[in-house]
Amino acid sequence: MKTAKTAKTALVPTRRFVGLAFVATAVALAAGFVPGIDAAWLALDALVLAMAGADAVVGRGRRVQAERSAPSIFSVGRANAVTLVLHNRSARALRGTVTDDPLAEAEASGLPGVFEIPPHASASLRYEITPTRRGKQSFGAVTVRYALPLGLLERQERLELSQDVDVYPDVHAARALEMLRRQGREDARLGSLRVRGGDTEFERLRPYQVGDEIRHVDWRASARRTDLVVRQYQAESNQNVVFAIDTGRGMRGESRGITSIDHALAAALLTADVALRGGDRAGLFTFDDKPRSFLRPSGGRSGGRKLTRAAYALDAGLTATDYRSAMVFLKTQVKARSLFVVFTNLLEPRSARDLAAAVKSLMPRHLPLCVLMKDEEVEALATEPVTSEADLLVRAAAGESLAWRDAIVRSLKSSGALVLDARPEEITPLLVKRYLEVKARRLL
């Protein structure tokens, strides 16, 4: 709980004051044309000024103390609850509004709030804030405004309540698990990597499910139970998964308020968590026009903490991406066969061809998996109805963009690389699913 220590105050005229001042002005104007109302004009002016002065005298002194309760760690794209507690230190009830200076790169809901606090009592207000960027951010001041007794002035107190918080990628597994379930993966187990199909170590018998390979049916056990059962195996462990994240300008784009690089980091960290729980090692590599950072694959809880710390302050820059130099660097750093998960966006045909050539150079020693994020705006433009010549040109350009993009995806797949091509908000559950499939099919 953070408590305000200093305050800046001001007196603000209310609508009542403005209304009375307007009436006084009207009477003053009328005095020039209607004899005998000078005294009324002067009396009205004196009354308004006296009432305002009385409010100003009564309103002296700080009357409100504020505290803010907020988590020290926030997640990108997730609503985080913040509570403001206001303490009335005066002998009369206070009614007014309160607002907060939330994080600069965030969306807030529930502000400003309305309060009514009895004498020497407290009241709380809860609002939600959804960060849109990672990194260190800060809350600012809490501003309260309440009416004074005669209603001509309001007292505004700006309570300094600065507070630093850390914003991390969203790795909330429950959301991804729910999306996996919607896709029919009721058997997904993010806490324990046990996948079917790998002839490594027998784990247990279980009922047959659609998609199981016939070669794993245990016919004798099926005959005894009069129902099909299959052998489930534990996946191999101690394998490398390296997440290679493009931090060039192509990853600065946004989808529903979240940048491409934040979508990539959320998917990478959750998939890494699944891999680490299953006994694999996870590493992180970032690049743009040159290699930027490299975290060697490691396992266990310490490996997860290293990944989270390494991802905390990453951001996309303004440079173009050099895929060739990135993949050359990665091959020199990781010798053992690994799953390289490459996150990037395809901006134009030339860079897309460079990506395809660089990814192909990783094989056959390594298994590359390209995670590409679709542009929903381009897809929408390609299907928009045409009502003018300008619309026709826009639709043609969008269609051409989708065509060369599809050609690159086909080229990557035909070369033996794995490709995940999806909308940014869908890549997290789909990547977890694809990783489980890689383990099940023993592609590593």
For 355-389, write each residue's pLDDT tens digit.
Answer: 999 999 999 999 999 999 988 778 777 777 877 87
Contact residues for 5 (Cβ-Cβ < 8 A; gap 6+): 160
Indicate the range of 33-42, 228-237, 312-321 predicted with least confidence: 33-42
Could you give the 3-state DSSP secondary structure of residue 344?
A: strand
189 vs 238: which has the higher pLDDT: 238
Q: Is 23 left (phi over 0), alpha (psi -120 to 50) or beta?
A: alpha
323 phi/psi in degrees, rounded to 5: -70, -35
- pLDDT band of residue 48 (cuts 50, 70, 90) is low
252 vs 4: which has the higher pLDDT: 252
- pLDDT band of residue 421 (cuts 50, 70, 90) is very high
Indicate the range of 42-56, 128-142, 173-187, 220-234 predicted with least confidence: 173-187
DSSP letter at 251 equals: G
Q: Are residues 259 and 113 in the same domain?
A: no
Range(s) of the domain holding residue 105: 61-168
Alpha carbon distances (Å) from 30 to 34, 42, 224, 383 = 6, 12, 106, 66
Q: What average pLDDT does this structure show over 219-228?
A: 84
Q: Are residues 261 and 339 in the same domain?
A: yes
**pLDDT value of position 77:** 80
Domain count, the chain: 3
Q: Are residues 267 and 230 in the same domain?
A: no
Q: Are residues 276 and 142 in the same domain?
A: no
Q: Are residues 219 and 257 in the same domain?
A: no
Q: Are residues 147 and 295 in the same domain?
A: no
Check pLDDT > 60 for residue 200.
no
Q: Are residues 226 and 295 in the same domain?
A: no
- pLDDT band of residue 403 (cuts 50, 70, 90) is confident
Q: Are residues 163 and 190 in the same domain?
A: no
Tens digit of pLDDT for each residue in 250-292? 999 888 778 899 999 989 999 998 999 889 999 999 999 999 9
